[in-house]
Amino acid sequence: MKVSEILQVKGNILYTVTPDTPMKAAADTMAEKDIGSLVVMEFGDLVGMLSFREVIMAIHANGGTVGNGTVRKHMDDHPLTVTPDTDVNEVRRIMIEKHTRYLPVMDAKTLLGVISFYDVAKAVLEAQSFENKMLKAYIRDWPVETDE
């Protein structure tokens, strides 16, 4: 299974902010939309990712509030990315080894979407469930052997 297949099932809603967006506004957007990350774009280019991890770190650094800073101060400015052709097993390896839950999907310099650990887990579960059904159907239809 490829990343492109996960994106097709997931849909194409993508939430972005600029580096100059106040952290409070970014955190509000994440809470209102019930999302775990925002893509940080500047002049049409991906320049970072802001996930709940960075928001929590900002709250910790500011004594319980996100503070008055901007996204630029707290974002991951070197996010790992994948392509639409990346295999889901490679995505799982990257997410586990690099301890990342959100990966932007890039086609050259074009942002196609973001896949999350949840998206990957759901896609793998659905693929395994389908394969399981096919195997069970195959076993049920197994021809009876005759003694000849």
The domain segmentation of the chain, as residue ranges, is: 3-140
Check pLDDT > 90 for residue 19: yes
How big is the CA angle at 59 (ends 43 and 28), to the nearest 5 degrees? Answer: 55
Statement: 3-140 belongs to CATH 3.10.580.10 = yes
Average of per-residue pLDDT across 46-54:
95
Alpha helices in 11-87 (DSSP H): 23-33, 52-61, 71-74
Average pLDDT for residues 49-76, to the nearest whole number? Answer: 93
Distance CA 75, CA 106 (A): 18
Tokens 């997410």 belong to which residue?
95
**Helix or strand holding residue 40 (H, E):** strand 37-42
pTM: 0.80
Judged by average pLDDT, the poorest of 7-16, 79-88, 113-122 is: 7-16
Q: How many CB atoms lie within 10 A of CB 39?
A: 20
